[in-house]
């Protein structure tokens, strides 16, 4: 009976892993026509504890160590020590395993079919389609990396991008509210508020501060859970399996899931995340700017961006002096910053983008389509 149960558990695990593909990966490093994938499973008590990155390359003489080093270089929140091809230590945000135990390395053709029969991080050849993973602890020598979540970059959004702060005080925090992705255009409906306060505040106090000063934001809570929340035309009401998930962290890369509002206490530079769905709060658009189409319609009419759609450049016409222009992808990632009114966009991929135009007095957001 025990063998049957173990077999069933293994089968279910492999089936679940089989659903995780490169299409789920958000953080890619490198360039080239070949792809490899890196999973780091810390086997700790944090949620999540396993992450995945993607790596693009062309060189035929690379090792897994080269992929890991490239990812470390791209993410300042990772530190790794690989003396002579041996993975001695690997830390990421709040995941800081001691050096009293060892990292086990894994490789295989997909996330659900990995074995530890390889030569380690410094001597495993990097091939197109290779999944390479690490798990911490000799007790896990027979357990491959668990199902990962897509790693986010700590640099995709920072507090310096906030243009409108709510409240006053010496301390600052960001509150990211993610309503999920609009599947019709693959746009991530994720928004961020910047708040200021003194001392420390609870998660509920942070939401109450926003609600008191942003008429387009409302929420209710019950038993330390968010019951419903709305931001402009976006809404999320708890019903059945659909409910608000709670997170805290210091940037997009460090979200830790919490079970209720009482577990979250904000202090300077800590973030609060709310997600109506399964993913962790994703790269946001500033909520203040996202509502300008409603709150500042007359002011926005003073701006003109053409041609739209465009294939090579856009021209911004406005009677005000342009301070800065930021262009964001449909998923909210900043892809370009400039101070000019005529912008070359030939390097951008085809799709929908958001153009944030900042002037001395205000800022507006405009939608463009790159052909």
The lowest-confidence range among 11-25, 282-296, 342-356 is: 11-25
- On the question of a common fold for 22-150 and 159-292, the answer reads yes
Domain ranges of the chain: 22-150, 159-292, 304-370
pLDDT tens digit sequence for 225-283: 999 999 988 999 888 778 999 999 999 999 999 999 999 999 999 999 999 988 999 99
- The highest-level CATH class for domain 22-150 is mainly beta
Of the chain, the percentage scoring pLDDT greater than 90 comes to 63
For 159-292, CATH number out of 1.20.1250.20, 3.10.400.10, 2.170.130.30, 3.40.50.720 equals 2.170.130.30
Q: Which of 138, 143, 50 lies closest to 98 in space, CA to CA? A: 138
Q: Would you mind telling me the total number of residues written for the chain in this entry?
A: 371
Residue 134 and residue 145 in contact, taking contact as beta carbons nearer than 8 Å = yes
DSSP-assigned letters across all residues of 36-81: EEEEEE--SSSSS-EEEEEEEE--SS-BHHHHHHHHHHH-TTEEEE
Q: Which of 363, 194, 217, 190 lies closest to 292 in space, CA to CA? A: 363
Model's pTM, two decimal places?
A: 0.76
- Judge: domain 304-370, CATH 3.40.50.20: no
């Amino acid at each position: 009976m025990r063998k049957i149960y173990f077999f069933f558990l293994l089968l279910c695990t492999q089936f679940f892993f089989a659903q995780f593909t490169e299409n789920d990966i958000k953080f890619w490093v490198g360039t080239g026509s070949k792809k490899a994938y890196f999973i780091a499973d810390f086997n700790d008590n944090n949620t999540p504890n396993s992450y995945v990155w993607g790596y693009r390359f062309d060189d035929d003489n690379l090792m897994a160590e080269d992929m890991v080093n490239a990812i470390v270089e791209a993410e300042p929140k990772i530190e790794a020590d690989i003396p002579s091809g041996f993975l001695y230590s690997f830390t990421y945000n709040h995941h800081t395993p001691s050096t009293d135990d060892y990292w086990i390395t894994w490789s295989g053709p997909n996330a659900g079919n990995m074995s530890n029969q390889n030569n380690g991080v410094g001597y495993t050849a990097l091939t197109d389609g290779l999944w390479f993973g690490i798990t911490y602890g000799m007790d896990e020598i027979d357990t491959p990396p668990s199902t990962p979540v897509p790693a986010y970059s700590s640099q995709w959004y920072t507090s310096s991008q906030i243009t409108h702060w709510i409240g006053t005080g010496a301390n600052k925090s960001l509150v990211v509210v993610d309503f999920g992705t609009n599947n019709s255009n693959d746009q991530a409906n994720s928004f961020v508020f910047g708040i200021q306060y003194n001392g420390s505040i609870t998660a509920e106090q942070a939401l109450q501060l926003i609600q008191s000063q942003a008429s387009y934001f409302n929420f209710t809570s019950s038993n330390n859970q968010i019951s419903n929340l709305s931001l402009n035309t976006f809404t999320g009401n708890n019903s059945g399996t659909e409910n608000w998930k709670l997170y805290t962290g210091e940037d997009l890369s460090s979200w830790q899931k919490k079970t209720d509002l009482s577990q979250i206490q904000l202090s300077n530079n800590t973030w609060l995340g709310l997600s109506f769905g399964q993913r962790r709060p994703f790269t946001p658009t500033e909520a203040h700017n996202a509502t300008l189409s409603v709150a500042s319609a007359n002011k926005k009419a003073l701006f003109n961006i053409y041609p739209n759609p465009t294939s090579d450049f856009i021209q911004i016409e406005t009677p005000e002096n342009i301070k800065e222009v930021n262009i964001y992808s449909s998923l909210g990632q900043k892809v370009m910053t400039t101070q000019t009114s005529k912008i070359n966009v030939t390097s951008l991929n085809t799709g929908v983008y958001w153009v944030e135009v900042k002037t001395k007095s205000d800022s507006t957001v405009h939608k463009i389509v790159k052909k």
